[in-house]
Amino acid sequence: MNLDFEDIKQAEIVYKSVLLEFKTSPEHRSKMDIVLKDSCITISIDSNDATSFRASINSAIKWIILSVEVNNITL
């Protein structure tokens, strides 16, 4: 999943905000990875089944949305 942001600074803020969540998420049934390149964040999910894949996507989306909303409030 690729997320394109308007500028590099916003992408960096979101990336740094959620990086710890990705690094510390349990890897029992799925593994998530996040990469920042310029103003694009790429999220990769490797999962054993559809249920854990869906749960991982939902978590990633919630973390990203929360980070963007907090960033918008503080600007």
In terms of C-beta density within 10 A (0-12 exposed, 13-18 middle, 19 or more buried), how is residue 57 classed?
middle
CA distance 68 to 12: 11
pLDDT in tens, the chain (75 residues): 999 998 899 999 999 999 999 988 887 889 999 999 999 999 999 998 999 999 999 999 999 999 999 988 876
pLDDT number for residue 71: 84
Q: CA torsion sign, 4 to 6 to 11 to 13?
A: negative
Reported pTM: 0.84
**CB of 3 closer than 8 Å to CB of 36:** no
**CB of 1 closer than 8 Å to CB of 43:** yes
